[in-house]
Amino acid sequence: MPAKWAYGVLLGAAAILSGALCPPGRDGLAAASSQQNPPRQEVEPPPKPQPIPFSHKLHTQFVRRCEDCHAMREPAWDLTYPPEAKCMECHATIKADSPAIIKLAEYYKEQKPVPWVQIYRVPDFVFFSHKVHSKKAGIACEVCHGPVAEREVITKERATSMAACMDCHR
């Protein structure tokens, strides 16, 4: 029985390597290699819900520039989430009785930041500067973050991997 099994394995390997079991247009060795090491696809799970619903689509009707809410703090490695006081400039009167704004107002009164779920994150060993990319290189926020102004809910639209960086840094 072991001899038949070994013969079957050898026959199968020969068929794969010769291309007999490969799709048309693929050579056997390349096909076998790509089946063992398929191209890596960066699939992101859906983000966790935000603690307070927020629509960039709605808010960008009133605020034009990303940095009007997302200020760069020096040395501008990160952009900040808007401080609750910034939100309350409008929401002290606009929709002040909605459950979401009541929750926002509670964070503001307690002087606690809203625990927003971070969508984009680079590994700790990466030194990424928004300032270098947006101010010095003139890259629009949408290049990496997608058309945020059209989104009710923000999802990760571009990977934060080395491969994604290399799309520009060739």
Residue 42 placed within a domain: no
Specify whether 128 is located in the same domain as 165.
Answer: yes
Q: Given 115, 135, 159, which residue is the final one in a domain?
A: 115
98 within a domain of the structure (yes/no)? yes
Determine, yes or no, domain membership for 41.
no
Residue 105 lies in a domain: yes
Residue 13 lies in a domain: yes
For the chain, give percent helix, strand, coil, nearest 5: 40, 0, 55
Strand partners, 78: none
Domain presence at residue 23: yes
CB of 17 within 8 A of CB of 32? yes
pLDDT in tens, the chain (170 residues): 455 444 443 444 444 344 443 344 444 334 333 344 444 445 667 778 999 999 999 999 998 889 888 888 776 667 788 999 999 999 999 999 999 999 999 999 999 999 999 998 888 888 888 888 888 899 999 998 999 999 999 989 888 888 888 888 88
- Whether residues 126 and 70 share a domain: the answer is yes
Q: How far apart are CA 127 and CA 122, in angstroms?
A: 8
Is 6 found in the same domain as 76?
Answer: no
Structurally, the chain folds into a number of domains equal to: 3
- Classified as helix, coil or strand, 6 is helix
Q: What pLDDT score was predicted for residue 40?
A: 46
Q: What is the pLDDT of residue 44?
A: 66
Res 95: pLDDT: 97
Note whether 109 and 25 are same-domain residues: no
Give the pLDDT confidence score for residue 62 in this predicted structure: 92
66 shares a domain with 31: no
- If asked whether residues 27 and 97 sit together in one domain, one would say no
* Cβ atoms of 131 and 111 closer than 8 Å: no
**Residue 92 belongs to what domain range?**
82-115
Give yes or no: residues 127 and 167 share one domain: yes
Asked if residue 167 and residue 146 are part of one domain, the reply reads: yes
Residues 70 and 131 in one domain: yes
Domain boundary among the residues 96, 115, 134 is at: 115
Please indicate, yes or no, whether residues 64 and 10 belong to a single structural domain of this protein. Answer: no
Contacts of 53 (CB under 8 A, 6+ apart): 100
Say which DSSP state 49 is in: P
Helices (H), the chain: 2-18, 28-36, 56-59, 84-91, 99-109, 130, 141-145, 162-166
Residue with tokens 């929401």: 91
